[in-house]
Amino acid sequence: MPGIILTVAGHPNRELSEKLAAKVAEVTCQILKKELERTAVQVWYLPHEDWFIGGQSLSALGKNAFKLEVTITDETNTKAEKAAFHRQAFALLSEMIGNLHPHSNIHVIDCRASAYGYGGVTQEERRFIQPERIS
């Protein structure tokens, strides 16, 4: 179950949020081999004038940016899968957002199975509990 937080420079845009959420979830599930039905996505916006890179606002730089954080259970993906995800997610967001500052970034957060979960159950517990007992 990946948890995804995508922060985009700009002001809230429902149509863009829906497209970004769908496409980012799709590439995440495809490359990192996760289940779309268990993928949560949050799209946040931060005004260009409040986002700074190298001491200058994106407004002053005339650029867009994003920060993509994807939380997964540790040791469920290889280094090669994560590297492929970085490449494909960056290409996708470059196309969808455009005019990106090169320091837009992606962070795949590997959490221990005992520290990450959903529905009140850790991923570690899910390995040992009967599937029919977990809703």
Angle 100-108-48 from CA coordinates, rounded to 5°: 30
- Give all domains of the chain, ordered by start, each with its CATH number: 3-133 (3.30.429.10)
Classify residue 32 as exposed, middle or buried by CB count within 10 Å of its CB (0-12, 13-18, 19+): buried
pLDDT tens track for 95-107: 999 999 999 999 9
pLDDT at residue number 130: 56
126 vs 101: which has the higher pLDDT:
101
Q: Name the average pLDDT for the chain.
A: 93
pLDDT tens track for 54-69: 999 999 999 999 999 9
Q: Cα–Cα distance between 4 and 89 in angstroms, integer?
A: 12
pLDDT tens track for 73-116: 998 999 999 999 999 999 999 999 999 999 999 999 999 989 98
Q: Cα–Cα distance between 68 and 97 in angstroms, integer?
A: 13
What does pTM read for this prediction?
A: 0.91
